């Protein structure tokens, strides 16, 4: 692929989104536009050329991100003086009314959780789920014993729990859903159901999603996978192949289908009224040191 043409097309695609994409998401956007072939070699070449494009400043490095790696720790921080600390503390206290929250799920009929197979896509899910106060569990494949119990700890014992599942359409991605149901039941979950939101065969057809690029060695390994006998390999497609905007809408709509909208709106109104009361009280607080 010619470097200049690739940079121009990449910039055009990135301009369609307000949030950064992963390399794999960009790759599938280019494949869907038939700009590059859907092969592992093509993916490798794309990765190398985009490193160059970011090094040269031809592509905004902030619009591509590696969501699978984290930077940990707080680093160095502090205040210039005790007075600076006290001023910030006073200002922060008086502005705290904005952080007053009502519990929104206590009056809902269900408790909602989200499980996603791909950790690299977790930031998209948390971005959409955060306003609904729903926890997202990136599985990174099959859930470990400890991770299953983290999910169980978030389940509500007094109401039905709905686990919205997002995974690849391949033998492992489909079997992870089965394993999730089985292990939640084995470890004590009672009133729950797991709902596959994506990927589905219908979504693959609807959005004309390209198959996962495979080389001969990977295909040979796949054929030896015992899960193939159950799920087959007629079409193997990754969750990353969905347009990020489509994926965001799927997440949002699947959440809202589980919400009693009228109850939710009433709670928002109560929160606004009570925030105003908190604000008035905080503005009259006198602080002495």
Q: Average pLDDT for residues 219-226, to the nearest whole number?
A: 63
Both 29 and 167 in a single domain? no
Look up tokens 């606004």; give the residue. Answer: 272
Domain tally, the chain: 2
- Residue 88 is predicted with a pLDDT of 82
pLDDT at 215 over 60: no
Q: What is the CATH number of the domain that holds 202?
A: 3.40.1360.10
Residue 278 lies in a domain: no
- Residue 234 is predicted with a pLDDT of 65
Q: Which tops the pLDDT comparison, 221 or 201?
A: 201
Name the band, by pLDDT with cuts 50, 70 and 90, for residue 110.
very high
What pLDDT digit, counting tens, does each position of 114-134 carry? 999 988 888 899 999 999 999
Domain interval for residue 44: 3-63
- Residue 281 is predicted with a pLDDT of 84
Both 249 and 174 in a single domain? yes
Q: Average pLDDT for residues 243-264, to the nearest whole number?
A: 95
pLDDT at 272 over 90: yes
Both 119 and 9 in a single domain? no
Residue 275 lies in a domain: no
pLDDT at 54 over 60: yes
Residue 286 lies in a domain: no
CA 125/CA 240 separation, integer angstroms: 12
- Residue 92 is predicted with a pLDDT of 78
Both 46 and 122 in a single domain? no
Name the band, by pLDDT with cuts 50, 70 and 90, for residue 242.
very high
Residue 74 lies in a domain: no
3-state per-residue secondary structure call for the chain: CCHHHHHHHHHHHHCCCCCCECHHHHHHHHHHCCCCCCCHHHHHHHHHHHHHHHHCCCCCHHHECCCCCCCCCCCCCCCCCHHHHHHHHHHHHHCHHHHCCCCCCCCCCCEEEEEECCHHHHHHHHHHHHHHCCCEEECCCCCCHHHHHHHHHHCCCCCCEEEEEECCECHHHHHHHHHHHHHHHHCCCCCEEEEEEECCHHHHHHCCCCCCCCCHHHHHHHHHCCCHHHHCCCCCECHHHCCHHHHHHHHHHHHHCCCCHHHHHHHHHHHHHHHHHHHHHHHCCCCCC
Residue 209 DSSP code: P
Instruction: Give the list of residues 6+ apart from residue 114 with CB closer than 8 angstroms, or none.
Output: 125, 129, 134, 135, 136, 137, 163, 164, 166, 251, 255
Both 172 and 246 in a single domain? yes
Cβ-in-10-Å burial (0-12, 13-18, 19+) of 133 comes to: exposed
Strand order in the sheet with 192-198: 136-138, 111-116, 161-166, 192-198
- Residue 279 is predicted with a pLDDT of 86
Both 142 and 45 in a single domain? no
Of the CA atoms within 13 Å of residue 185, those in its CB half-sphere come to: 9
What pLDDT digit, counting tens, does each position of 153-205 carry? 999 989 999 999 999 998 888 888 889 999 999 988 889 999 999 999 999 99
């Amino acid at each position: 692929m010619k470097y200049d043409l690739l940079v121009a097309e990449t910039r055009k695609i990135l301009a369609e989104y307000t949030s950064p994409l992963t390399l794999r998401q960009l790759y599938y956007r280019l494949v869907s536009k038939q700009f590059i072939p859907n092969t592992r070699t093509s993916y490798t070449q794309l990765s190398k050329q985009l490193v160059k494009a970011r090094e040269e400043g031809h592509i905004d490095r902030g619009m591509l991100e590696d969501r699978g790696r984290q930077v940990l720790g707080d680093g160095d921080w502090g205040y210039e003086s005790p007075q600076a600390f006290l001023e910030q503390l006073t200002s922060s206290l008086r502005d705290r009314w904005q952080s007053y929250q009502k519990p929104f799920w206590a009056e809902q009929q269900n408790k909602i959780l989200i499980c996603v197979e791909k950790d690299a896509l977790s930031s998209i899910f948390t971005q959409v789920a955060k306003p609904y106060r729903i926890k997202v569990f990136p599985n990174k494949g099959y859930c470990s014993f400890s991770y299953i119990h983290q999910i169980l700890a978030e389940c509500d014992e007094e109401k039905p729990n709905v686990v919205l599942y997002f995974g690849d359409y391949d033998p492992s991605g489909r079997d992870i859903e089965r394993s999730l149901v089985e292990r939640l039941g084995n470890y004590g979950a009672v009133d729950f159901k797991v709902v596959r939101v994506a990927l589905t065969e219908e979504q693959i057809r609807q959005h004309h999603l390209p198959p996962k690029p495979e080389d001969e060695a990977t295909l040979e390994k796949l054929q030896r996978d015992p899960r193939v006998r159950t799920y087959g390999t007629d079409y193997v497609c990754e969750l990353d192949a969905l347009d990020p905007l489509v994926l965001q809408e799927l997440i949002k709509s699947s959440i809202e289908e589980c919400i009693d909208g009228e109850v939710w709106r009433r709670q928002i109104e109560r929160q606004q009224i009570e925030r105003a009361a908190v604000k008035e009280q905080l503005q009259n607080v006198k602080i002495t040191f």
